[in-house]
Amino acid sequence: MLEAINLHKRYHQGEVDVVAVDRFSYRFPAGLTAIVGPSGSGKTTLLNLLAGFDVPSEGEVWLDNTPFSTLSEDARSELRLKHMGFVFQQWNLIPTLTALENVAFPMMLAGISLKERTTRAAALLEAVGLAGRAKHLPSRLSGGEQQRVAIARALALNPPILFADEPTGNLDSASGARVVELLMRQAQEGRTVILVTHDLELARQAQRILRLRDGRLIEIEEAPSDLPAVPTGR
Amino acid sequence: MGVEVLALIYRNLRARPVRSILTLLGIVVSTASMVLFLSFGEGLRKALGAELSTVGPAVLVLPEGVEAFSPGYPELRPETVEALKKSASELGISQVIPYVVLTRGGLDPQSAFVFQGIPEGLSPKALYPNLTLAEGSLVPGPKGAVVGSRLAERNQLGLGKVLRLSPSISLRVEGILKPNGGLSDNIIYVPSSVVQEALGTRNYTAAAVGVREGFKADQVAEAIKARIAGVNAQTTGDVLRFAERAVRISDLVRFGISLVALVVGGLLVANTVMMSVYERIREFGLMRALGAKQGFIFGLVLLEALLLGVVGGLLGLVLGQAASGLVNWFTGREVGLALSAITFRLASFALLVAVVLGLLAGFLPARTASRLKVVEALGRL
């Protein structure tokens, strides 16, 4: 369970203090949660704080029973490896590794044997429909294929939390739809999927939408009850 | 460390082939130059060791103040040699072979002739037991000469050919030796009286002294110094130690010179790896975001520098070996000596230097890469 308590992030820009995230509190349940807001509303900064890429000026992020945001860089890295998967808008893959090696990379960090991680990575690529592209370098994959490899990699260690930051931003509608479908499937399987987007069409597919403006959480919109039920446990 | 890491390092180096190859060349050349420079010291050591191991008598008696490798005008008086012979049994001496050296033709090895005058009727084998005869006689007659193989070859000296030692002294080649790869290949052995006549003296350069069974060379040397005035007695061990000191000093000088090349090589690696780090900031950010710890990134970058160092060092060793072979071919042709030698310890030292170079050059870029902030590296500010 991921929970933000009174998260606050200030930046110094010259002599001016800019507040990027302003007293954000929320407990993320399982299922798909979309964070929306206009450009500059603090979506990316919030994701940075939730994922432990950055530390808050005030407040805390708790991961299960651990005060995640107060841990050291390396301790946060370790927890990220085990509990979180990431799909970014771009710069998702390591350019000198093949699709298979990219998917296997987190498993290598976790100390899983070569044989096991190769088998698992191949299975994950097959699950996202890219079995035939396993030995291709990212430069030889389309944008949609790269995002699917990133999803396969995000699932490598079967983490309970998945972050997706504008995952369809650079994709055509068909590729985007396929990526969204994959993310939805993860949410339906009981993962906490946190989707950051400015695309309201995409956000409407989530179980709940958090609206940000000027770094503040201004609205929480729950999806109508006729949407597919989301299991509570994993 | 997974295959992914090796793939990362290898493919990253291969992704920029020209830069990687140029960097590698920098290390190869700097290591090779160090190997070659230091191989001269090893070559000298080897040649000296080989030379002294072929010397029969174990003690060298020289006039006081003269070192074994700097014989000047003969200063060892015949009375001293007689005194040595008289006290032989008392001092533990088995034989006394006085000799006198004369160099003609200056320092150029191509035109230099080294005459070693030995007691008449004696074979040069008494001084250098390893010598073997190729043709003719091993013992030079009263106006005869036995010539080392290299010298004979260089000057086309065949049996019966006449050598002029001075305007009034001519010698006939009576024997030619087989090559043995040492200094003795470049020496002309003649009766000492002939050399003394040419120099207008009755003195000797030095006397080689054999040690009787049951006596130790250093004790005999000490006894000679105590008994005979005005002489210095050195064992072959002393000579080797003296030579070793001289070679070690020259080693340091040569290492100092090659250090410049090494520093340049190290800076090349540091520059390449640092550029590579700056180009891959997002990649490192992504790795950190995925869960890689700082130590992983540090190791990854350091390993890349280390790989450049090790591969460059190995190739440098090969190039150094080739250059050493070329030098030896040249000096072998010119002076009959292999001046350069790449020993196991030199090879190990060169590799160690290359590894340390790689580590030092990679340290700063590795630290920079590992300390990147994830948000900054990913450009997520």
Nearest CA in chain B to A78: B291
Selected residues 241-300 of chain B with any CB under 8 Å from a CB in chain A: 282-283, 285-296
Residue A63's Cα: distance from chain center in Å? 15
The answer to whether the CB atoms of A74 and B293 lie below 8 A apart is yes
Q: Are B75 and B199 in contact (CB under 8 A)?
A: no
pLDDT of residue B293: 93
pLDDT of residue A30: 92
Q: Does B378 touch chain A (CB under 8 A)?
A: yes
Q: Does A109 touch chain B (CB under 8 A)?
A: yes
Question: Which three-class secondary structure state does DSSP give residue A157?
Answer: coil
Q: Are A132 and A140 in contact (CB under 8 A)?
A: no
The residue ranges of chain B whose pLDDT is under 70 are 1, 50-57, 67-72, 106-111, 181-182, 336, 380-381
Is position A11 within any domain? no
| Distance in Å from the first CA to the final CA of chain B | 31
Is position A54 within any domain? no
Q: Does A43 touch chain B (CB under 8 A)?
A: no
Strand partners, A36: A211
Q: Does B65 touch chain A (CB under 8 A)?
A: no
Is position A67 within any domain? no
Nearest CA in chain B to A113: B2
B347/chain A closest Cα distance in angstroms:
34
Q: Which helix (H) or strand (E) holds A61?
A: strand A58-63
Tell me, what CATH number does A127's domain have?
A: 3.40.50.300
Strand partners, A91: none
Selected residues 79-98 of chain A with any CB under 8 Å from a CB in chain B: 80-82, 84, 86, 88, 91-97
Give the up-direction half-sphere exposure of residue A57: CA atoms within 13 A in the CB hemisphere. 14
Q: What domain count does chain A have?
A: 1
Q: How confident is the prediction along chain A (234 residues), in pLDDT tens digits per residue?
A: 899 999 999 988 888 888 999 999 999 999 999 999 988 899 999 999 999 999 999 999 999 989 999 999 999 999 999 999 998 887 789 999 999 999 999 999 999 999 999 999 999 999 888 999 999 999 999 988 998 999 999 999 999 999 999 888 877 888 888 888 888 888 998 999 999 988 888 888 899 999 999 999 998 888 765 445 444 433
The answer to whether the CB atoms of A92 and B378 lie below 8 A apart is no
Contacts of B261 (CB under 8 A, 6+ apart): B29, B30, B33, B34
pLDDT of residue B110: 60
Strand B59-63 versus strand B206-211 pairing type: antiparallel
Question: Which three-class secondary structure state does DSSP give residue A95?
Answer: coil
B268/chain A closest Cα distance in angstroms:
23
Residue B315's Cα: distance from chain center in Å? 22
Show residues of chain B in contact with A77, CB under 8 Å: 288, 291-294
How buried is B231 (Cβ within 10 angstroms: 0-12 exposed, 13-18 middle, 19+ buried)?
buried
Is position A185 within any domain? yes
Residue reference for tokens 């310890």: B345
Nearest CA in chain B to A154: B290
Nearest to B289 among A53, A108, A117 (CB): A53
pLDDT of residue A112: 93
How buried is B310 (Cβ within 10 angstroms: 0-12 exposed, 13-18 middle, 19+ buried)?
middle
Three-class DSSP labels, chain B:
CCHHHHHHHHHHHHHCHHHHHHHHHHHHHHHHHHHHHHHHHHHHHHHHHHHHHCCCCCEEEEECCCCCCCCCCCCECHHHHHHHHHCHHHHCEEEEEEEEEEEECCCCCCCCEEEEEECCCCCHHHCCCCCCEEEECCCCCCCEEEECHHHHHHCCCCCCCEEEEECCEEEEEEEEECCCCCHHHHEEEEEHHHHHHHHCCCCECEEEEEECCCCCHHHHHHHHHHHCCCEEEEEHHHHHHHHHHHHHHHHHHHHHHHHHHHHHHHHHHHHHHHHHHHHCHHHHHHHHHHCCCHHHHHHHHHHHHHHHHHHHHHHHHHHHHHHHHHHHHHHHHHHCCCCCCCCHHHHHHHHHHHHHHHHHHHHHHHHHHHCCCHHHHCCCC
Nearest CA in chain B to A114: B2
Rounded to whole angstroms, the Cα distance separating B188 from B204 reads: 16
Is position A49 within any domain? no
Nearest CA in chain A to B284: A94
Residue reference for tokens 């939805």: A184
Selected residues 180-239 of chain B with any CB under 8 Å from a CB in chain A: none
A96/chain B closest Cα distance in angstroms:
6
Q: Does B17 touch chain A (CB under 8 A)?
A: no
Is position A231 within any domain? no
Question: Which three-class secondary structure state does DSSP give residue A82?
Answer: helix
Q: Which helix (H) or strand (E) holds A73?
A: helix A73-83
Is position A80 within any domain? yes
Residue A195's Cα: distance from chain center in Å? 6
From the candidates A74, A96, A107, which should be mutated to test the interface with B, based on the most B CB atoms within 10 A?
Answer: A96
pLDDT of residue B1: 62
Q: Helix, strand, coil % (nearest 5) of chain A?
A: 35, 30, 35
Q: Are B286 and A91 in contact (CB under 8 A)?
A: yes
Range of the domain at A151: 29-44+73-222
Structure tokens at A34: 């979309």
The answer to whether the CB atoms of B12 and A96 lie below 8 A apart is yes
Is position A84 within any domain? yes
Nearest CA in chain A to B2: A108
* Nearest partner of A205 among A175, A232, A190, A185, judged by Cα: A185
A79/chain B closest Cα distance in angstroms:
8
Residue A162's Cα: distance from chain center in Å? 4
